[in-house]
């Protein structure tokens, strides 16, 4: 009976689309018709992508008129099947569920991948949603728990954090993105009854809370730790403009991650930090009026002589999609005035991402939903292109908002 309760609890909470209950007096700027139309348009568009995706590959981006695909080991591999699953949920289109399940077969092997911290993205956004929607514990529970064990193997009791990368000039690098993998661990504790996954998630979040933020509550991208002492060795960036800049998507990982950790733990410091990050983003003078951020909040501090950043005014739709999804949830946990502010911002972002400026016309953009994301401008990687995770969090934001309207 205890195991049954654990599984049912996982099914109730798993996935990134659990119901968000708004206050009764809330007024919504978007209606069900609009949301449903966007879900249908998204479902139609992603079928274009499905038609050109090789059986054993995963959509990465669309660049220079050509689709780019990855193997299952790429950190984004879980987003495409995850988006199919979310759209099958939002539109009740069984063909999308079938497409997702077929693709999951080629992702299963990553449950044993101990060489990456991105297993939350790869396995939880895919198999976690599959379990939530199908309730097929026999098929998906072992994969998820093997994946959780692989992720937990990257945790060090000395540093008290999960190592992000095994490459580069780092001693023990931890990126703010890593907050997104903690939901996988907290849910795995519920699914398995093993407290260790929850404990690792909380320990990692606490250390990140302590070391990853500046006084204005913007987040560093990379904190490099001493692997023997756990002390901070350096504070750097890898995808932002410079070490002290506020990389826009990094702020989204922080906002989403600490909102989620408050949901999972009810620890008030996590809620407070999520709200502080939200306020940093929404009050930032460099945030455009449409709330779709530039790729870095400090892009104006880049020297005009730096030819690497000739496109420094690029927007990042992936960061905006993250903001929207997180803000819808954060509104639930906040006092009325704050909640209204966060929800209105989410509505503005969803509306603008759904416009022709960002949402692709049917059959265009390689079948991806959103245009104008930036992967890593300093690396000249995935610059002003569609990205699978932008699509995932956009659809998640639509579904979360739809729950508000019920």
Instruction: Report the catalytic residues.
Output: 118, 177
Determine contact, residues 20/400, Cβ cutoff 8 Å.
yes
Tokens linked to 21: 């209950």
* DSSP string over 106-125: TTGGGGG--S-STHIIIIII
Element of type H or E holding 235: strand 232-236
Tokens linked to 389: 């995770």
Q: What phi and psi, each to the nearest 5 degrees, are found at residue 86?
A: -65, -40
Determine contact, residues 77/71, Cβ cutoff 8 Å.
yes
Residue (of 333, 323, 330, 241) closest to 290 by Cα position: 323
Which residue do the tokens 């759209």 mark?
A: 87
Q: Is 234 helix (H, G, I), strand (E, B) or coil?
A: strand
- Sequence-ordered alpha helix ranges (H) in 231-374: 248-265, 268-282, 317-333, 336-353
Beta-bridge partner residues of 62? 67
Determine contact, residues 213/220, Cβ cutoff 8 Å.
yes
Tokens linked to 213: 């933020």
Determine contact, residues 30/347, Cβ cutoff 8 Å.
yes
User: Other C-beta atoms within 10 Å of 182: how many?
Assistant: 28
Q: Cα(14)–Cα(229) distance, rounded to whole angstroms? A: 35
Tokens linked to 385: 């292109």
Q: Is 360 helix (H, G, I), strand (E, B) or coil?
A: coil
> Going along 84-230, which residue ranges are E strands?
155-156, 161-162, 173-175, 222-225
Tokens linked to 203: 């320990």
Tokens linked to 189: 């504790």
Contacts of 381 (CB under 8 A, 6+ apart): 375
Residue (of 112, 191, 205) closest to 155 by Cα position: 205
């Amino acid at each position: 009976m205890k195991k049954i309760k654990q599984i049912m609890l996982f099914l109730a909470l798993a996935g990134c689309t659990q119901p968000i209950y708004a206050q009764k007096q809330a007024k919504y700027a978007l209606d069900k018709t609009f949301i449903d139309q966007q879900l249908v348009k998204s479902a139609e568009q992603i079928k274009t992508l499905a038609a050109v995706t090789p059986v054993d590959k995963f959509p990465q981006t669309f660049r220079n008129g050509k689709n780019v695909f990855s193997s299952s080991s790429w950190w984004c591999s879980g987003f495409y099947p995850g988006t199919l699953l979310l759209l099958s949920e939002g539109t009740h289109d069984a063909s999308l569920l079938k497409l997702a399940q077929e693709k999951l077969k080629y992702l299963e092997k990553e449950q044993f991948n101990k060489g990456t911290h991105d297993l939350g993205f790869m396995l939880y956004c895919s198999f976690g949603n599959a379990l939530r929607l199908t309730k097929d514990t026999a098929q998906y529970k072992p994969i998820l728990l093997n994946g959780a064990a692989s992720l937990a193997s990257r945790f060090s009791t000395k540093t008290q954090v999960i190592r992000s990368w095994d490459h580069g000039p780092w001693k023990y690098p931890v990126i703010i993105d890593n907050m997104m993998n903690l939901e996988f661990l907290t849910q795995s504790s519920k699914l398995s009854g093993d407290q260790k996954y929850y404990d690792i998630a909380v320990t990692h979040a606490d250390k990140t809370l302590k070391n990853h933020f500046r006084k204005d509550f913007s987040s560093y991208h990379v904190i490099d730790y001493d692997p023997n002492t756990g002390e901070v060795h350096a504070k750097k960036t890898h995808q932002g403009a410079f070490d002290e800049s506020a990389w826009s998507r990094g702020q989204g990982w922080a906002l989403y991650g600490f909102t989620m950790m408050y949901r999972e733990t009810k620890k008030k410091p996590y809620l407070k930090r999520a709200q502080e990050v939200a306020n940093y983003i929404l009050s930032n003078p460099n945030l455009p009026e449409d709330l779709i951020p530039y790729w870095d909040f400090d892009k104006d501090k880049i020297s005009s002589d730096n030819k690497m950043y000739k496109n420094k005014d690029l927007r990042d739709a992936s960061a905006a999609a993250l903001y929207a999804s997180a803000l819808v949830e954060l509104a639930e946990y906040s006092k009325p005035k704050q909640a209204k502010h966060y929800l209105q911002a989410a509505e503005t972002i969803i509306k603008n991402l759904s416009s022709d400026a960002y949402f692709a016309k049917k059959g265009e953009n390689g079948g991806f939903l959103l245009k104008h994301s930036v992967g890593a401008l300093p690396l000249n990687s995935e610059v002003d292109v569609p990205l699978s995770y932008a699509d995932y969090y956009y659809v998640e934001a639509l579904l979360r908002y739809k729950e508000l309207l019920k």
